Every structure is written in C-alpha cells, then in structure tokens.
Structure 1
Amino acid sequence: MTGAKRYHPLLILFDLWKLIRNSGFIALFLFVIKAGSDSYFIIYGRLIFLLVFGISLISIVLKWFTHKYVLDDVSFHLYKGVFNKTEQTVPFAKIQNVHRHTSLFHRLFKVTSIHFETGMAGDDAAVKFEVISPAEADRMEAKIAGADREGRAEHLNGGDLEQAACQTALPRQISNRSIHFEPTRKDIIKASFTSLSFLVLIPILGSLYSKIDDIFHVEKQAEGLFKSILSSWWMITIIIIVLAVASTAFGIVRTFLKYGKYQISSDQDRIYISKGVLDETAFSISKERVQAVIISQSLMKRWLGLAEVKLISAGSAGNEELGGNSLYPYLPVRRAYEMVSEILPGYEVSQNMLRLPAKSLWMRMLRPSWIWILATAALFYFKPTVWKMEQAWWMLSIALLILVVMSRLLDFFNTRYLLKDHFIQFKTGSLATNLFVSKREKVIEVHITRSLFQKWMGLASIETINRAKPVHHASVTDVPLEAARSFYHWYGGRQNDIKVE
C-alpha cells in the first residue's frame, strides 16, 4: 500500500449530508410530529434511530481513515476495511464508461464526483470517487484515455506506431472534440411538452398540501374557502388559467434545468455527453465499447418527428442523471440518423429495410392472445355491470380483441429487418417503435426458432444477443425462412471480423 492516498476530506461532510438528507423525514416524524407521544413504538423508535444514526456517524469517519487508493500506469488499486483488509485492482482496460456528476454541494466546495464503470457485475462493478478535485478527476480521465489509445496502438502496423505513441502522449484536455448537438430554445420548449413536464406541477402541489395537512391539519380551515371558490365560475376560470400558465412555465423551467447546457460531442476515441444547469452531469464512453445503437420513438415523438438515440455498451447503463446511455431524448428524426454516422463512423443506418411478407400477418393474427383469453374468462365469470348494462362483459371483451388486433396490425406494418455487409437492423413496435442497429463483430450470440405453425407457413424468428448490463436481446418474429437462413450464414462470417491476439 505504498503511496496510497486517502479520499478527499470533504467526503466526510458529503456522507454526513447524505445521512441527514436520508434520515431527515424519520427524525421529523419521531421528534417533531410525534413529539408528545408516549407510545412505546415511538419511544423505542427514537432510541433505535439515535443508535443507528450514531453508528452511521462512526462508520463515515472510519471509512475515510481506512479507504485508500493508488493509481499506476495501468490500473486502480483500492484498499478498504477496518479489521478485514481487502484490496481490489481494476485495470484501466476494463473501464467502459466514465460518468461525472457535479451537484450543488460539489459546486459550493469546487469539487466533483466521478465514476468509472466496468463490464463486471456486482457491487464492485464501478470505481467511485464521490468527492474529488476537478484536477484529480481530469488526471484520472487522461490516464484512462491514454490506456485506450495504447490498446489500439497494439493493433497498428509498425509504420503507424510512432504516430500512435504521439497521440497517446496527448492529454485528454487538448484533444479535438467535434460538437454534434446543442439544443436551442425551440428544442427545450418542444422537449418540455413532449415529456409532459407541465403535468408534474399539480401532483407536486397535491402532495405538498397532503403533507402540510398531516402536520398542521389545515383541511377543516380550508373547507369553507374551497366551497366559496367552487361556487364562483369566474374564480374557477381564473384558477384554471393560472394553473395552466404556472404548469407550462414550470415544465419549461424544469426541462431547462435538466437539459440546459446539453452538449453531445466526440473525439477520435470517445463520445461525451454533458448537461445540467444546477446539477452538472457529464458522461463519456469509448467508441470501441459501443455494442449497438437503438433509435426509439414513442407515439407522441412520432407525431412530432422526434426520436431518442441510445447507446448499448458493455458497461452499466444505469446512469439515472443522464437517463441511461441516451444521447438526447428529443432529437429530430433526421438529425438522429445523421448523428449516429457522425459519432460512430463505423456504423451505418439505412432507412430502406425489408418488410414482412403477407403470410407473417396471418401468422400474427392466428397466434392466440393469452391476455384476451384470460381477460374474457374473468369478464365471463364476474360479469361486471357497466353503465347499468348487465351484459357489458362481452362488449368489453370485443373492445379488448379490437385493441389486440390493431396492435398486431401496427406491429406488422412497422416491423422491418435488414442484413447489409457487416451490419444488422431490426425495427419493431406498434405505437412505439425501436430501431436496433449493430455490427456483426459486436453480436455475441444468435438464435433461430420455429414453432409448429411457423414451420407450416415457412416462417421463423431470429434473435441477436449483445454484451451489455443486462445482456441485450433484439429479435424479429415471423421472418421468411430464407431470411432466417441468410441470417445464419451472415453470422457465420463473424469469424472473419474477430481478431485473435
């Protein structure tokens, strides 16, 4: 453990702040709301709370004294433990994604947090520095970027090694980045309506009123006020207008705080995503780690001509602050297609894809719908009365059957597939659609399945599996048997794409 460094001393204050934040409501309930209670449940609850809070305080201090780290040229070395000492080594080559987050706390003390995500599973899947100086975070990212370049340099021919070594020596801060997208005011406003952020204000006000009523019991005092307001049509009109304006403004502000200063950029090695006005978040992923691309559209996004581009990587995709590995949730469709090729030159997205044959539609229509069957059985058994109609159960069953048929029709017309050189594309979905794009070398496994009915109709289902957390599956059902055979032979050529060291 020679040269090991302790984590930033502000980590103690940061962990203390998280402890107070997470236990604040329990403390408010036990010591303020139930201050005069003689219940044994409350009395023992206070004692248990103080005991757990005290142990947590001690563990925070011990954690800072016993947790240390070392960086060498190739890996992280992490040390922790009070009585049982443990050491963890994480090679830079295992780092998939780099994730930075600068909250209001970090900004006040001019620090940041950085997580290095690996392709491994478990609690040790990421190397986390919850509080760290920006200079130290930059130094770590530069080492990771240097390791990426060195890894690629090993695959170059001798004539290119000198150039690769020069590139490796360049620090990350001076690498040339190309900016691909920064939202305009129009994009922010469109995103606020597409995400329905303006509808969030009313539930927040309702929840706030409920909590205030639990503490101060204001419902009885406000009952007379509500009656007088509801008896006046012009007061109701004014309140509706004010709520509509406030909700719209709230949605726009909320979206701006979340997606303001959003930027998608890239350099030769990595893709960078940053956003946030109060809480700043930055995420980067190595281009070599991208396993697939998904372009998704909800029903509303399809109406507005928007799409979301997601990157499937071997590292964790659970970055709540960035919404997974999403580039931007509200990109114009044409720009989304263009950006994939700009950021990942090795990927191609084609809009000319193959449709399913007519017999696939018959296959989908004849396939049993267990949802409809079970729902009809339940409706027949209980026979609920709707609008005083005792025989409404069969009308509900027919309505559900129509929805199932319409969903299958939409799914049939939206489904596409394409095999082109080293690339594969699937488009599936009914109201919402997903376009999956991957390279043959990134697909680790394929499946071809055929049910008895599919055999009779000369159809099959094909599926790809990509490395991710969790493993990502993409499939198309009821493709022609000839297409399934082509898919099998296409994947057989993967051995020519994989370079064995």
Structure 2
Amino acid sequence: MIKRHHPITVIYKIYSQIRYSIIPLTAFLYNEIRAGTGQQPDWVYIAATVYGIVTGGWSILSWYRETYQLDSKALHTTKGVFTVTQRTIPLMKINNLKIEQSWIYRLLGIANVELQTSDSNDDADARLITSRKTADLLKKSIGQIENRSAIPESKDHHVTRKEIIMLSMSSNTFWLGLPVTIAVIQHLWSWLFPTPEEEQVSFMELFKKETWSGITLDDSIKVTLYLAAFLGICVMVTWLFSIGMAQFRYKGWHLSRAGDVISIHHGWVERRSVQIQVKRIQSLRIKELMFGRLYGYASVCMDCVGYSGERRVKLLIPSIRTSELVEVLGRLLPEFQLQTPERALHRSAKFATEIPIISLLVFGILVGCYFTLWSLTIIPVLYIVYKYMKYVYVKTKWEIAANLFILRKAGFNQTTVYLLRESIESISIRQSWWQRLFRIYQLEMEIDSPANVWEYRMSGITKQDCNEILGWYKNKSH
C-alpha cells in the first residue's frame, strides 16, 4: 500500500523553504513593530502574503507527492512535483537503520527513520517520517533478511546507572564545563557580594620580591584553603551537571545481537534505535579515559561503514568495567578476539620524539633566565614532560594476530584499536628526514571513514616491522 509521510513533515518543508529568508523577514518584522502597524507600503504586505502562500502551497504539494511503499524485499520511494524521482532500495542492501523519536514524535506516535546503504558516513540515502508501527515493521523486515548467522540466539548487554555515572567523570561535558562553571560562580559571587574596585596590577609584579615580602605563612595557608574550597565547589557542580547530561544521553542504553545484526537502543526524552550489520564493523576502539581508567572503566567505540554514530564517536558501549570487556565482547562480537598487545616501539622512537620538545623547553629556560631567575620554575615542568613522554613510549604497544591488527596508544587517555585485516583499504609508510636519522618509520592503516585517523597511525617502528606488517596484510587468504 502506498503511504505518505506524517503531515508534520509539512512544517519541516516550510522551514527548509524559508530558512534562507529568516534574516530579511526578521528585519521586516522589526521595522514593522518599530514603525507601527500600517506604516509599510502596500506592496510589501502583498509580497509577503504571496511569498507565504507560495511557500505553504509548495510544501503541501511536495509532501503530497512524496510517497513510499514497503514490500517483503524492497522499499520504494517517490518524490518530486515537476521532476519525479523514483527509487527502489532492496532491504538486503541496507547497511544501517536508525530510528529516532523526540518527545513530540512520541506524543504523535511517529518516528524519524534513516536508511544508509552507501559505504560512507554521508547523508542518509532515505528518510521516512512514519508511524512507529511502520518503523518497527521495517526494522523487523531487515532483521529477518540479515538473520543468517551461526549465532541464532539473541545476545544482549545493558549499561547500568553506575557505569553512566563513572563515564561522566571523564566526559567532555565535565572538562569543558569546568572553566565555564568557575567563571559563572566567580561572577555570581561578585554580583551578590560586590567589593570596591581595586587598582589593576601588572602580572610582572608577581615576580618582584616586594610583592611577597608582606605575606606571612598564615596568609598563604588561608588563601590556599579558600582556593581549594572554591575549586572543590566548582568541580562538584560541574560533575553533577555532567551526571545529568550523561543520564540524559545514555539512559537505558541496551545493546543486543540477533544473527548478523547489532541493535542499539537508548534515550530518555529522545529515544533512538540503531541497527548495524556486523559485517560492516571494521574495528573496535576501547577508550580508557583518564579518571575512568583509575576506577577500572572504559568505553567501547567502533568504526562501521555508513554509520556516523552517537556524536560522531560511534559509541558501541558508553561505559563498561574493563574486567567485563572480554566476556561481553566475546559474547556479542566473537569476530574480535581481544588480547593484550606485547610488541614495543623501537627504542630510537623515544629519542626522536623527546629531543625536539625538550630542546625547545631548555631553550625557553635559558632565554627566561636572562630576564628573571623565576623561569627556573619551569624545570619541574620539563621533568613532568619527560616522564610523560617516557610513559607514552613504554606503554604504546602493537601486535598482529590472525586477522587482527592491534594498536594500543598510551597517554592521558589510552586507546586500544582492534582492526580487522579485511577492513584495511591500504597501508601507508612514511619517513621524515628527522625519522631517517633514527631509522624509524611511521605507518598508517587507511580504512573507510574513520572517526579519528590518528588512532590508526603508529610512529617508531623499524623497516623490519613494516615488512612484517605488509606481509601479514598481503596474506589475506590465510
């Protein structure tokens, strides 16, 4: 049976027609309100009326002409008023299916359905504003076609509230929101308890002996306690806000697999449902964020053909205990055999990375000492940088095992990539003049539409390692 999109689509079509006219229309309304009703020439009102009638009529007509039909094997779509475009999408060619429901859509009993068939992360190949019943029927039809795996039983995993709370400690909402919270609380305090304006003091006054001569130990302790209390309040407020945002985004996150299809359901106010074909998953990326890693939690992301994912990071599991990773992923995605990489970078990689940065810092210290001895306080910073770079070198590991390339990149946030050999489109090997001095190379695995190219790049391996990886890649049939 031929069906049309929900009538609410007309509103979106009207918006798409007038969005480029918002600025002149706003200026017109502003001048009209300022001048008073009836002060504009008659032709202005006639033009505005004609424009509104044409826009509304065209939107209604294009909505009426845009239809779709679903049968057991394909989805047929038709759109266009003067130029009619008909398209047939076989259900077996649909890589990913995404269903979204805002609170308005839930009240109306409808859903926004996006279908992706191409091998990219571009715009959806088809969008339907349809009833929830039709969306579920389309989802079921695709699932029946793809449900041909050797794993017939359904597997699932639920993300708990505690795991979402642990995720909020390391989320971007927390780190990016902390400076904003500090500024807001500072301005709020100055508004509630105003103080007389003080004379502005140059930053260089901090380095003069006279500035510190009148400060006692008790004053220093008092200021430190006040500062610690202020920062503690800001951190707590930001964390509570981050918890709320994390619950808002990831509440009810449910991951399940039936046959060759992975389904993700989540959302509180806006509910989302995504179906992904397992054969389209190219790699798993286990991200251990700084604070979450201290408490034994990680996030699991993926790079999947034709899937943009939650906020472009392509989340599979937002938060999970690292001790449960092997069991959960082994049950849901047995195609990826998780193991710990053991091979280290070449020892020359450490010096090739450290020498330029440390040389720059030493140069800054020498130049700073010419002006003031206070620049010697940079020495602890220099030591911290050295220890961090040494940690990155020691903890970065890689491995090739069966059909997987494994790369663990250390840092404040640690990422371990499990990349399927058949998903690698090409391998690039580069060597700069600086790396040539240390006889090391940079290797990059190129795949279709990665979320972060940097995660597939490895610097500090020898020519022998490159040859071994290339031999493993060419031997795809084994």
Query: What TM-score comes out, normalization by structure 2 length?
Result: 0.74
In structure 2, the partner of 1:81 is 80
Partner in structure 2 of residue 194 of structure 1: 170
1:181 matched to 2:128? no
Q: Secondary structure at the match of 1:483?
A: helix
Q: Is the 8 A contact 2:120 2:448 kept in 1?
A: no
Q: Secondary structure at the match of 2:318?
A: coil
Task: After superposition, give the CA deviation of every residue in 1:435-485 in whole Å (9 maximum; x if it has no partner).
Answer: 110121222211233345545544332221222367957121111332222
What SS does the aligned partner of 1:317 have? coil
Letter in 2 for 1:436: V
| Counterparts in 2 of 1:428 and 1:34: CA distance versus 1, 3 Å | farther
Give the corresponding residue for 1:418.
Answer: 399
Map of 2:463 onto structure 1: 481
> Deviation string for 1:186-207 (max 9, x for gaps)?
3343233333757859959999
- The 5-angstrom pairing of residues 372-383 of structure 1 reads none
Question: Does the aligned pair in 1 maintain the 2:99–2:111 contact within 8 Å?
Answer: yes
Q: Distance in 1 between matches of 2:172 and 2:331?
A: 30
After superposition, the Cα gap between the structure-2 partners of 1:341 and 1:390, relative to the gap in structure 1 and judged at 3 Å, is same
Correspondence 1:457-496 to 2 at 5 A: 457-468=438-449, 474-494=456-476, 496=477
Q: 1:137 and 2:135 equivalent?
A: yes
Matched residues in 2 for 1:32 and 1:352: separation? 64
Note the residue ranges of structure 2 that are not aligned, 5 or more in a row: 198-228
Q: Which has the higher contact order (CA 8 A, sep 6+)?
A: 2
Aligned to 1:157: none
Measured at CA, do residues 122 and 492 of structure 1 come closer, stay the same or move farther in structure 2, by a change above 3 Å?
Answer: closer
Specify every segment of 5 or more residues in structure 1 that has no aligned partner in the other structure, as ranges. Answer: 153-163, 168-174, 211-218, 231-237
What is the CA–CA distance in structure 2 between the aligned matches of 1:29 and 1:396, rounded to whole Å? 56
Identity of aligned residues (%): 20
SS at match of 2:348: helix
* Paired residues for 1:238-317 under 5 Å: 250-317=241-308
- Equivalence map 1:45-444=2 (5 Å): 56-120=55-119, 125-129=124-128, 131-149=129-147, 176-184=153-161, 186-195=162-171, 226-227=193-194, 250-320=241-311, 324-366=313-355, 368=356, 390=371, 405-444=386-425
Q: CA 1:22–1:243 in 2, change beyond 3 Å: closer, same or farther?
A: farther
Q: Assess if the C-alpha contact under 8 Å between 2:261 and 2:276 holds in 1.
A: yes
1-side partners of 2:233 and 2:33: how far apart? 38
Q: Give the superposition deviation at 1:34.
A: 9.2
Contact 1:96 1:313 in 2 (8 A): no
Q: CA separation in 1, counterparts of 2:280 and 2:415? A: 21
Matched residue type, 2:325: A
RMSD: 4.8
Shift of residue 293 of structure 1? 0.7
Give the 3-state SS of the residue equivalent to 1:330 in structure 2: strand
Give aligned pairs, total.
Answer: 438
Aligned-residue offset at 1:315: 0.8
Cα offsets for 1:44-69 (capped at 9, x unmatched): xx989988776654443233112122
Corresponding residue for 1:161?
A: none
Change (3 A) 1:324 1:136: farther
Pick which of 79-88 and 278-287 moved more.
Answer: 79-88
Equivalent residue for 1:160? none
**Aligned with 1:8: secondary structure?**
coil
State the AA in 1 paired with 2:460. Answer: D
2-side partners of 1:147 and 1:116: how far apart?
A: 15
SS of match in other structure, 1:194 = coil
- Mapped to 2, the partners of 1:239 and 1:431 lie a distance apart of 25
Q: Deviations over 1:53-91 (max 9, x none)?
A: 766544432331121223344433322222222233333
- CA contact 1:197–1:252 (8 Å) conserved in 2: no
Q: What's the CA shift for 1:342?
A: 2.1
Give the counterpart letter for 2:80 in structure 1: G
Change in Cα spacing, 1:240 to 1:346, as seen in structure 2 (3 Å) is closer
CA contact (8 A) 1:372 1:397 kept: no
- Contact kept, 8 Å, 2:121 with 2:308, in 1: the verdict is no
> Helix, strand or coil for the counterpart of 1:464?
strand
Structure 2 CA distance for partners of 1:203 and 1:397, relative to 1, 3 Å: closer
Aligned to 2:209: none
Q: For residues 84 and 401 of structure 1, do their structure 2 counterparts lie closer, same or farther at Cα, with a shift above 3 Å needed?
A: farther
Asked if structure 1 preserves the Cα contact closer than 8 Å seen for 2:2 and 2:69, the reply is yes
Any idea what SS the aligned residue of 2:100 has? strand
Q: Please report how far the alpha carbon of residue 239 of structure 1 lies from its aligned counterpart in structure 2 after TM superposition.
A: 11
Instruction: Give the equivalent residue in structure 1 for 2:215.
Output: none
